[in-house]
Amino acid sequence: MVAPVAGEVVVTVDSGHAIGLKTDDGVEVLVHVGIDTVNMEGKGFTQHVSKGQRVQAGDLLLEADLPAIEEAGHSTTTAVLVTNSANHKAVTSPATGNTVDAGDTVIVVSK
């Protein structure tokens, strides 16, 4: 999984399945891999960033073993969410429900 935006890593979790970013203009983004994957206790996940690190869009955040996630009985659906959407005029997602590639627009935030 790669960074959808440039900014600072503000949240990492021990289980490795989620990372929070904050852009320079204050948009807070959560990348959450899978459903209930916290129950995997880090198995199948390798984080490549740490809290406080700056990243550019496209930088590697984490690796996820998708077959291992499925074998553990979890969905591999990955959510990219704006966690402070109430602070913005509008947050839309042209990619809802779609498979996306690195570099695709997944969220549009209007100030």
- 12-62 pLDDT per residue, tens: 999 999 999 999 999 999 999 999 999 999 999 999 999 999 999 999 999
SS3 47: strand
Structural domain count of the chain:
1
CATH of the domain at 45: 2.70.70.10
Is residue 74 included in any domain, yes or no?
yes
Q: What DSSP element (H or E) covers 27?
A: none
- Going by C-beta distance under 8 Å and a sequence separation of 6 or more, which residues neighbour residue 21? 3, 4, 5, 7, 8, 9, 10, 28, 29, 30, 31, 55
- Catalytic annotation, pick one of 32, 48, 74, 88: 32
pLDDT at 95: 67
Is residue 77 included in any domain, yes or no?
yes
Question: What's the whole-number average pLDDT of the chain?
Answer: 93
Q: Is 48 annotated in the active site? A: no
pLDDT at 96: 67
Is residue 104 included in any domain, yes or no?
yes
Is residue 1 included in any domain, yes or no?
no
More confident residue, 61 or 88: 61
Which residues constitute the domain of residue 94? 7-110
